[in-house]
Amino acid sequence: MKQFWRLFLVLQIVGITAALTAVSLSDFVQAEQAESEEERPWPCAEGINDHIDYYYELLAEKNRPHEVERWQNIKKERDLLLKAINEAQKRELLAESKQEKEWAAQHEKLQKAFLEAVKKRDEEQISQLLTELFAQYELRNKLLKEKVVESE
């Protein structure tokens, strides 16, 4: 009977210790999560570019099959350039140029027109705007290349 009570007491001590440890660590983990959420105001945004890229690719396959390879090349080049620019930004060597601001304004207008075409399901307009979008992304890649060259 004594052994049973000893085992019972040992298990109680171990259980209480484990519970206290878990409670104290849970506050630490919650604080860590809160900090990382502050760094990323919209956690879902992390993979949104992959979704958008795939969407453009599907639209190109449907409406402009001859432009699919062009889009894939634009994406690959963009990803490489953005990686180089992110490295340069870490070294604080880059600032946004006037050309980039102009590109962003033009891109916003084109995106609004594209959205309207998608809402209307106007395949002819979608097809035309895809060509314009791809040309605009090529221009962006050109601007990014210039930015990379500046940072070196």
The dihedral through the CA atoms of 4, 6, 12, 18 has a sign that is: negative
Total domains in the chain come to: 2
How far apart CA 12 and CA 145 sit, in angstroms, is 65
SS3 call for 95: coil
Quick one: pLDDT at residue 7?
56
Residue 57 contacts residue 68 (beta carbons within 8 Å)? yes
55 and 126 co-located in one domain: yes
How far apart CA 132 and CA 101 sit, in angstroms, is 18
35 and 58 co-located in one domain: no
151 band by pLDDT with thresholds 50, 70 and 90: confident
33 band by pLDDT with thresholds 50, 70 and 90: very low
Which residues contact residue 38 at a Cβ distance below 8 angstroms, ignoring those fewer than 6 apart?
Answer: none
28 and 90 co-located in one domain: no
Give the domain extent around 20. 1-39
How far apart CA 151 and CA 102 sit, in angstroms, is 20
